[in-house]
Chain A
Amino acid sequence: AQSVTQPDIHITVSEGASLELRCNYSYGATPYLFWYVQSPGQGLQLLLKYFSGDTLVQGIKGFEAEFKRSQSSFNLRKPSVHWSDAAEYFCAVGKAAGNKLTFGGGTRVLVKP
């Protein structure tokens, strides 16, 4: 069975500082990996996805993620955080066919001025 772990429940970062969110997955085959962001009272917005190819993936809003098969990780990074990045971030794993996603528990990011 597939699973996703996000070790950090909360992260506080100063505006302008870098951000890294950790994600570890467990999946028997080649994983389809996603990062979503959720602002309060809203649904999920896709930041980026990885299926194959280059292990460094660029997404929207200046985010990037790196797939490391040897570590079963797919960490999300942003070089300089803006106050509008305060939200909850979810890592998810899916299969090649079908849209069922298994989500991690989420990491809530707080941005200090």
Chain B
Amino acid sequence: KAGVTQTPRYLIKTRGQQVTLSCSPISGHRSVSWYQQTPGQGLQFLFEYFSETQRNKGNFPGRFSGRQFSNSRSEMNVSTLELGDSALYLCASSLTTDSNQPQHFGDGTRLSIL
């Protein structure tokens, strides 16, 4: 069974640009969550999607947005990139929104802002 796939693995952008990251969950998983990991702030929750609806949102500015498609694949978008957006962005999928179901993480997309 394939794991969570995140593309691209690495990305370099400049300030002011926008970026879209993609996450393909494990087959059958309908919940997708996104996290930002930085050396300074650690792992922070961005948002969670289930059945194409955002169910939870973290404390990030509106420049960070996401969506989920009918096949459960998810994208997150960051507009007007800032230097502080440089981070590893991790996606996790699970069967449902029930915490009893384990979350499986992808290897992340490393975003560097120049």
Show the binding face of A for B, using Cβ within 8 Å: 32, 36, 41-46, 49, 51, 90, 92, 94-106
Q: Which residues of B contact A51 (CB under 8 A)?
A: 99-100
With A32-B99, A43-B106, A46-B103 as known contacts, state yes or no: A99 contacts B42, CB within 8 Å.
no
Q: Interface size class for chain B?
A: 20 to 34
Main secondary structure of the interface of B (DSSP, over half): strand
A102 CA to B55 CA, complexed, in Å? 16
Shortest CB distance B50–A (Å): 8
Known: A41-B107, A101-B35. 9 other contacts (CB 8 A): A43-B4, A43-B106, A44-B90, A97-B98, A99-B94, A99-B97, A99-B99, A101-B45, A105-B42
- B48: CB under 8 A from chain A? yes
